[in-house]
Amino acid sequence: MSVVWFNGEFIAGKLALDPADRGLTLGDGLFETILVVKGKPVWLSDHLERMGDAADELGLGFDAVGIRVGVAAVLEQSSAPQEVLRITLTRGVVPGRALGGIGPSPSLLITLATFDPQAVPKTITLATSRIRRNETAPSSRLKTLSYIDAIAAAREISGRADDALMLNTAGHVASTTIGNLFLLKGKQLLTPAATQGILPGIARAKLLQGAGALGLEAQEAMLTLNDIHAADAVFRTNSLRLVTQVTMLDGKVLGQGSIEFIRDRLVSLLEE
């Protein structure tokens, strides 16, 4: 971890964390991972808006100005062509034992680490996890620290595929463990709707907005495994890894239509 900033100060080495901080004890917090290109954060306002909305929903203190001050301080230490900025916000310490309790002050951890885009594979394979995403749950919809189900899904398919496809509890396609899923079919660009147990990604939102300029009709939909197998091309979006084509699902080859123009479009959007 090249740069670490915690509750207003740069840290060398370990954090001095309260042992009762609910981020550690109960996964009670939020995070965002943001691509940094030549010292500039990509879609920072979108990430902060998503975090602020989630913090409101969960009753976490969210100090937008304080976070921007910390982010600016950390980004001054930028030292590599591409980096990952991670903002972690926890509920901090809550007096008493009540799960629903509120603490006096959240903890804010901001880190900056080198990111090597060459290490991101150009294509990936997927296998379907037995673990479903829960469309009624904050852990599916919000970028919370409670990530164990995605971790277990990634472990489950490890060795068989590169990432896990997760369905929701109704059996519809939701997302992978670390990104949103898109299908290209003719001029249609389809992705599971926000109600389907997905984390609505920032790259996903940018593509939905930008599809028209590519001559595509973007649409949120309820999708099945059959829809994936019938698509011309399938790809994953992620704020760091951007657009990654999916070549196989559960050992079956998927449509190999070109998605280069979509990747190029997203790259041009992030350069704006």
Q: How far is CA 229 from the centre of its chain?
A: 24
DSSP string, 59-103: T----HHHHHHHHHHHHTT--SSEEEEEEEEE----SSS-TT---
β pairing state of 107-114 and 82-90: antiparallel
Chain residues 2-21 in contact with its own copies, contact rule CB under 8 A: 4, 6, 11, 13-21
d(CA 69, CA 56): 20
Element (H, E) at 151: helix 148-157
> Least distance (Å) from its own copies to the CB of residue 25?
6
> Least distance (Å) from its own copies to the CB of residue 154?
4
Instruction: Give the per-residue contact string, 70-89, with its own copies (x = CB under 8 A; - = no).
Output: ----------------x-x-
Which one, 20 or 267, has the nearer CB to its own copies? 20
Residue 175 binds to its own copies (criterion: CB under 8 A): no
Residue 128 binds to its own copies (criterion: CB under 8 A): no
Among 35, 42, 44, 154, indicate the residue that binds its own copies (CB under 8 A).
154
224 contact partners, CB below 8 Å, separation of at least 6: 171, 172, 173
Residue 155 binds to its own copies (criterion: CB under 8 A): yes
Among 149, 184, 208, 249, indicate the residue that binds its own copies (CB under 8 A).
149
β pairing state of 188-192 and 217-221: parallel
Per DSSP, what are the bridge partners of residue 130?
none
Residue 136 binds to its own copies (criterion: CB under 8 A): yes
> Least distance (Å) from its own copies to the CB of residue 31?
7
Residue 251 binds to its own copies (criterion: CB under 8 A): no
Residue 25 binds to its own copies (criterion: CB under 8 A): yes
Which one, 25 or 188, has the nearer CB to its own copies? 25
Supply φ then ψ for residue 183, to 5 degrees: -115, 135
Residue 1 binds to its own copies (criterion: CB under 8 A): yes
Residue 134 binds to its own copies (criterion: CB under 8 A): yes
